[in-house]
Amino acid sequence: MKKILLLLAVLFTGFSYAEKGELVPPFTVVKDVFDVNIPEGYYVLQGTIVGYPSKKPVYGVTLESDPKIKPVTLKGNKFEITVKLEEDDVEFAKAGYHSSYFEEYKLVDRHRITIKVYLEKMDEKYLRPAEKPVIYGYSDEDLELAVTLDAHGELHFTYPQLPENKTWKMKLENDRFVDANGIEYPYLFWDSKMKDVHVQYGPGGIPGTVLGKKEILPYLEASLTRLGLNATEKTDFITYWGPRLTEKNYAFIQFQVQESCGQFADYVIEPKPDHFNRVYLVFSGYDRFPEYIETSPQELKAFERSGFHLLEWGGVELDGLPYQRMTLND
């Protein structure tokens, strides 16, 4: 008898479906058949998306299979996508809902798989803050720039104060931002409250690590050095996040860099920097070692830091890692 491992998406709720008195998988398989019209090395995933607990259709869902491929946004609740066989997980995401994952299902070449996907609606009280994103600026020459912020979520606080058009207009002099009144700022600051934050997944486990209190500081120092942060940036980062990461006995830590940071905010920057380097910390604390978390090492590469460049760091704390595994008989 086959065993199927399913991922339950329970982002930030602090409880599982089991605590509600029932188990609702992220998807159910309706049919799985061979289709001669599908090219070799591919499978077709199709089906419908409904809400939980109402079971009503959910519209405007984004499907993301390969992070290198632009996500497909659906206007209706029916979908059909052709996926490479080696891409064995597909994420279904919609603002205001917990994500669901088609993952760890036994795939067969040239098969058409029909599924029903369930998305659970989030409660407003589970908004999570994207904390202290700060942006440093560097240039060999002084310049004037405009930084337009599109924060994902409810913008909570900015410093310097962000105008209504969401654009900071600054001079960059001696690696300091200078406003129209001549006031200097070492960095630009904002934070917001978000309804959903996605943890990155990989084939060998969740990229990241679980560490005890005494291991956290050396790990942060080594990781930030590997990314190429300078002494000031590392000190600012560690003095802010270090106390938070060591509040409990263990912490799951994942660094999200570059394109993956787009889930927190987007920017329009004029003139366009030669490099815009971004790193966010996603973490969760535990009193006991979370044995159920399967992690894989993260490969962190040094940022390019030549010419006019910006560096942003921020982070989000989760109320527990956003999944648990269950085994079903097929």
Q: How far apart are CA 12 and CA 8, in angstroms?
A: 12
Measured between alpha carbons, how far is residue 62 from residues 29, 58, 95, 133 in Å? 20, 11, 9, 25
Q: Which among 128, 66, 160 is positioned nearest to 264, based on CA atoms?
A: 128
- pLDDT 10s digits, 253-264: 999 999 888 888
Tell me the two tokens of residue 61.
């869902």
Structure confidence at residue 322 (pLDDT)? 44
Tell me the two tokens of residue 160.
């310097």
Report angle CA 303, 310, 131 to the nearest 5 degrees: 95
Cβ atoms of 199 and 320 closer than 8 Å: no
Whether 207 has a pLDDT exceeding 60, the answer reads yes
* Greater pLDDT, 156 or 214: 214
Structure confidence at residue 196 (pLDDT)? 67
Measured between alpha carbons, how far is residue 265 from residues 10, 176, 194, 268 in Å? 23, 22, 10, 10
What mean pLDDT do residues 210-223 have? 95
Structure confidence at residue 51 (pLDDT)? 87
Cβ density class 4-25: b for 16+ within 10 Å, e for less: eebbbbbbbbeeebeeeeeeeb
What mean pLDDT do residues 179-207 have? 83
Tell me the two tokens of residue 249.
């006995």
Q: How far apart are CA 168 and CA 160, in angstroms?
A: 8
Cβ atoms of 127 and 194 closer than 8 Å: yes
| Cis amide bond preceding 160, omega within 30 | yes
Kindly state the helix (H) or strand (E) to which residue 10 belongs, with its residue range: none
Q: How far apart are CA 268 and CA 165, in angstroms?
A: 12
Question: Half-sphere exposure of residue 140, counting CA atoms within 13 Å on the CB side?
Answer: 4
Which are the contacts of 231, defined by CB distance < 8 A and separation ≥ 6?
A: none
Domains and CATH numbers, the chain: 3-124 (2.60.40), 127-317 (no CATH)
Low-confidence winner among 34-38, 79-83, 154-158, 176-180 (lowest mean pLDDT): 154-158
Whether 267 has a pLDDT exceeding 50, the answer reads yes
Q: How far apart are CA 45 and CA 32, in angstroms?
A: 9
* Greater pLDDT, 212 or 13: 212
DSSP 155-181: EEEEESPPPTT-EEEEEEETTEEE-TT
Q: Which among 38, 42, 27 is positioned nearest to 86, based on CA atoms?
A: 42
Question: Half-sphere exposure of residue 106, counting CA atoms within 13 Å on the CB side?
Answer: 7
Which of 24-28, 200-204, 223-227, 314-318 is modeled with the greatest confidence?
A: 223-227
**Residue 125 buriedness (CB in 10 A; 0-12 / 13-18 / 19+):** exposed
The model's confidence at residue 132, banded by pLDDT at 50, 70 and 90, is: confident
